[in-house]
Chain A
Amino acid sequence: MDLITLRRSLEAENYIFDEEFLITVHIALKLGKPLLIEGAAGVGKTEVAKVLASALGVELIRLQCYEGLDESKALYEWNYQKQLLSIQAGLAAKANLSDLYSKEYLLERPLLKAINSETSNVLLIDEIDKSDEEFEAFLLEVLSDFQVSIPELGTIKAKSRPVIILTSNNTRQLSDALRRRCIYLFLNYPDVEKEIRIINAKLPGVPERLAKDAASAVSYLRQNSRVYKKPSVAETLDWVSSLLAMDKNRLDEDGISKTLGLLIKNREDMLEIRKDEGFSELLDKKPR
């Protein structure tokens, strides 16, 4: 897929992006390298994989990482219930049981599914920073050679190279070995202008004034160092949707007080915002 086609495909998905994003994704696709996306929670890292799968017209296979994730959850597991039943049945029928460790008894987990797939797909390894270091090391073979090794079956190479996307919230440092194998993309919260474009793209029909007010208010909250949990892009969209449902065409105190819970998710932040004069001024400036 060339650059122009990729741009059009992403635009067709209503995805708002800048040139840096487009070029980085294009280079990752062309060089066939995994794409590592870092950024704060809620900037839309996971969304990239979803949009890309949709734009490329391929299946999205997702592996959600967490502490304690191991090969049996990520790569494969032997279907031992099926093996036991075969043994029982085989003993009775005196059948040959030599193929107990064949693909027939293999349970595919996301990584193996992506590698074994006949057609290309997007493999999303989400929140890699939440997994253990051992798992990260285990992933290196997949990321560099697009293959996995199963002791009983040998090495399985990818039939069709998956597009691999890794996301990280940077809660721990990823190893240099992993970073070296990836193309890197850092996503930041969108600026006001970009957020307005996102609101308009995702929620057609939002009054221009409301989109602008909401984007400015969210930007203000994200810049406030006392706000612990910054609002994500998805939360902005939920918030604007709820304001829209209340027939608001601009941001006012009534709308804020009734819907702030969609944007701010903890008590300390809520108290902080309510006593923040800067935020109140943002509303007071609006013509009545």
Chain B
Amino acid sequence: MRVSVNYLTKNLVEFFKILRMAGMSFSVSDCITAVESLEYVEIFNKVQVKAALQACLVKDETGREIFSKVFDLYFVPLAVRNEYVANRAETIETLKMEIEESVKSLNFQDTQVELTDEYKEIFAGLPESEKINLESFLNTTSAGKNVRAEFKQLAEGTVKGKLTSLKQKYAQQLIQTRGILTQDTSEAGIIAAEVSDEILKANDLLHRNIGEINSEDVPAAVRLISELIENLKRELSRKYRKTGKKKRLDFKKTIQSNLSTGTVLFKLKYKNRLHSKSKLFLFCDVSASMLQFSSFVLQFISGIGKEFTTTESYLFSDDAIRMNNRLYYDLSDFETQVKSSPIWGKGTNIGVSLNGILDNNSVIINSSTVFLIVSDAKTLDYNLAVNSLKELSKRVKRVLWLNPVPEKNWTGIKGLEDFAKYCTMLDCSTLERLMVACRRL
């Protein structure tokens, strides 16, 4: 009996480990509770065991999906699981070899180009025609006149740049080779990776860089953006609504209403507080560096315009112009209007654009304004931009900055650290990051 208990414990511990590797988060005390819960169900009834463990370990909807998939893969007869793991490990090893073999064709003057695992995976997943293009580029460059071996680094840089842009073009296709080279081939690693991959594929749009969203994904992206904007709206109204918790006593009314009880303060009367509603001010970058995100940006502005009736919207690049709110209801009209505006695709000057707003007496920004900037923060004259932002932050309730550049790359943007002092800067590089940002507001 002791042996079987140990075997069950070992299995459960391994199961908890896989759940964590697949992205679930739970404490040791949750694990203990989960084991305890098995006392109250029939241990040989798979449905009951699954429900009991799920009740104790799962804490949200995403976790539920991960749990279910891991459970179904893990709790199968041992022989079936071993066979599955062995087959999968073999497939992964074969894929790893194929990827390594594939990049051997990328040579500069008979020396293999050095690429990181990520670039190797991208190359291996490309269509043959693109691979041939890259190979012939290297062959031509290698054979050029006066081309020395030191030029290899330069050629490598070009290949990496090309692979980065191809990653965007073939995003859907490249899912097949993503993460293969770093894949753990232990039993836990294989099951966790299988589940994570399935979930990633199902929610691919959510995790994809917003600049990589293709035209065929736009309807699905619009639905997601609408949900996100709905969240944003809820969060903003929640955070800035007066809760009425700290009411001020109205002494005059209190004494008046308690005259009948000999001024014993039987009923307290409070002063009514005015309900202050936040107004959203959208300030959106449509300069050249933002063009890659234009599909997202246009949908976002349109969505915000429809959801927030009190929105003022301005587009900017080297100057700022006001958008007509009535246009939001027809996206194609709106898109035409934006793209034909004189600031579309120009250079960025946040300072000048912001000053245009701050100095304009007809623009109403005050202590109930939530100022929402959508920009990659790449600007000319960043000192001016920082000062304008500082001035703005004094005049409005809050400045929120949605940045489509991933947070890990922010260190490379000049002046961004100073901008962040006067606003809440949030990463919106993927819809998933935007969703997280909305929750952090």
Q: Which of B37, B39, B59, B244 contacts A184 (CB 8 A)?
A: B59
Residue-wise interface mask of B (56-84) relative to A, using a CB-CB cutoff of 8 A (1 in contact, 0 not): 10111100100000000000000000000
Any chain A CB within 8 A of the CB of B8? no
Q: A38-B60, A172-B234 are in contact. Are A23 and B264 (CB under 8 A)?
A: no
- Min distance, Cβ B25 to any Cβ of chain A, angstroms: 8
Q: A68-B243, A85-B264 are in contact. Are A27 and B40 (CB under 8 A)?
A: yes
Whether A31 and B266, one on each chain, are in contact in the complex, defined by CB atoms closer than 8 angstroms, is no
What are the residues of chain A within 8 A of B26 when measuring CB–CB? 180
What are the residues of chain B within 8 A of A172 when measuring CB–CB? 234-235, 238, 439
Q: A33-B33, A81-B266 are in contact. Are A185 and B40 (CB under 8 A)?
A: no
Q: Please choose the segment from B44-52, B362-370, B406-414 that sits at the chain A interface, where 4 or more of its residues have CB less than 8 A away.
A: B44-52
What are the residues of chain A within 8 A of B30 when measuring CB–CB? 180
Whether A180 and B48, one on each chain, are in contact in the complex, defined by CB atoms closer than 8 angstroms, is no
Q: Which of B223, B241, B266 contacts A225 (CB 8 A)?
A: B223
Number of A residues with CB within 8 Å of any CB on chain B? 33
Chain B's interface size range is 35 or more
Whether A68 and B245, one on each chain, are in contact in the complex, defined by CB atoms closer than 8 angstroms, is yes
Q: A180-B30, A186-B61 are in contact. Are A67 and B266 (CB under 8 A)?
A: no
What are the residues of chain A within 8 A of B25 when measuring CB–CB? 176
- Min distance, Cβ B51 to any Cβ of chain A, angstroms: 4
Any chain B CB within 8 A of the CB of A26? yes
What are the residues of chain A within 8 A of B198 when measuring CB–CB? none
When A and B form their complex, what is the total count of cross-chain residue pairs whose Cβ atoms lie within 8 Å? 84
- Min distance, Cβ B205 to any Cβ of chain A, angstroms: 14
- Min distance, Cβ A112 to any Cβ of chain B, angstroms: 19
Whether B51 and A20, one on each chain, are in contact in the complex, defined by CB atoms closer than 8 angstroms, is yes
What are the residues of chain A within 8 A of B234 when measuring CB–CB? 171-172
Whether B55 and A24, one on each chain, are in contact in the complex, defined by CB atoms closer than 8 angstroms, is yes
Complex formed: what's the CA distance from A183 to B29 in Å?
A: 12
Whether A31 and B36, one on each chain, are in contact in the complex, defined by CB atoms closer than 8 angstroms, is yes
- Min distance, Cβ A255 to any Cβ of chain B, angstroms: 31
Given contacts A172-B238, A173-B439, A184-B58, 4 further A-B contacts (CB under 8 A): A23-B48, A171-B234, A180-B26, A180-B29
Name the residue of chain A whose CB is nearest to the CB of B26.
A180
Any chain B CB within 8 A of the CB of A3? yes
Complex formed: what's the CA distance from A26 to B41 in Å?
A: 9
Any chain B CB within 8 A of the CB of A65? no
Complex formed: what's the CA distance from A179 to B51 in Å?
A: 17
Q: A3-B41, A26-B40, A172-B234 are in contact. Are A183 and B55 (CB under 8 A)?
A: yes
Any chain A CB within 8 A of the CB of B129? no
Residue-wise interface mask of A (153-191) relative to B, using a CB-CB cutoff of 8 A (1 in contact, 0 not): 000000000000000001111001001100111100000
